[in-house]
Amino acid sequence: MRRTPRRAAATLAGAVSVVLLAACGADPVAGTVVPVEGDVEVHDPSLVVDGEDWWVFSTGNLTKGLGAIQVRHSVDGNAWTYEGEVLPDDRPAWQQEAVPGVTNLWAPEVVEHDGTWYLYYAASTFGSNTSAIGLMTSDELGADVAWQDRGIVWQSSAGDGYNAIDPAVVTDEDGTPWMAFGSFWGGIQLVELSWPSGMPVEGGEPQVIASRGDATNAIEAPALLHHGGYWYLFVSKDSCCQGTDSTYHVEVGRAEDITGPYVDAEGDSLLEDGGTPVLDAVGDMIGPGGESVAVGGGDELLGFHFYDGADGGTPTLAIRSLAWTDAGWPVAMTVDEQESLTSRPGA
């Protein structure tokens, strides 16, 4: 979630046409929209489905609270209510010490291990890689519960070649936890963690798993999903946070091992700006990104925000149930959205 102007996104219509339509024949595979309503003004959602309870933890909003991580709840994934902020009145001192001037907290990730909920989040300021990923834990989900500060998981400063924000945490088939993170600078990083602390293993160092390979390196917001024997790495590219001028879009690559190498459907490396399209702007859905993944009701779900062109560019929650092509690639867009992209000039 590094927030500075970026170059405009390249048109993805041709790539979407090849990957989603031609590869699937006359009956294209399509994602399914999960309708949402209520309090859905959300940025950088972390979607969690816990039985019948759906939760979204998201970037802080100084206009609505004190800038701490926001919490929303639903009993069906459709109607959402705002529950409050996590630790709104009790900020640990390390946040200002590690990141002077930090106000609102960004891009949370919420995962469960052995009955404990782990809430990872980013403390940073716009356009800087003096950043830190923090951790809180709780025995239950919600805003008004006993979240305990566990300190800094990883941090970066001006001398580092990466930005310690946008955490994404998963556990592999062997029970080992990993954290992907990163925004601009050196791209997307991966570091091994350890349960039950949720902290990096001793001597652990991040390795690059995705990069655009140019001076701007406009890639961020990783999310990891295991499906069909592969690890899928979702990333957001180009410009967020510009309202209706945002050019954010989501791409994906996959690897047999969580550490990579990740490639797209054409075999291009994500270390060299590869990526298969997943979401792009269609109609009033502008700049989709900031994604997370969850499993609920047997569905693999992609939660993300977009800038609503019908509401002045307000960041808005969206959820899609993923479909999969025969070749094993995730699809989030509906048939109508795919057809809209392929009908654009130059597609």
DSSP 76-111: SSSEEEEEEESSTT---THHHHHSTT--SEEEEEEE
pLDDT tens-digit map of 24-70: 444 679 999 999 999 999 999 999 999 999 999 999 998 888 899 99
pLDDT tens-digit map of 199-244: 999 999 999 999 999 999 999 999 999 999 999 999 999 999 999 9
Rounded CA separation 287/298 (Å): 28
Low-confidence ranges of the chain (pLDDT < 70): 1-27, 345-347
CATH superfamily of 19-342: Glycosyl hydrolase domain; family 43 (2.115.10.20)
Per-residue pLDDT at 27: 62
Asked whether the beta carbons of 125 and 99 are under 8 A apart, the reply is: yes
Per-residue pLDDT at 196: 98
* Residue 301: C-alpha distances to residues 128, 314, 345 (Å): 31, 22, 31
Residue 85 annotated to the active site: no
Catalytic residue from among 41, 44, 83, 251: 44
Residue 44 annotated to the active site: yes
* pLDDT more than 90, % of the chain: 84
Per-residue pLDDT at 24: 42
Catalytic residue from among 39, 109, 220, 291: 220
Kindly tell me the number of DSSP H helices and DSSP E strands found in the chain: 3, 24
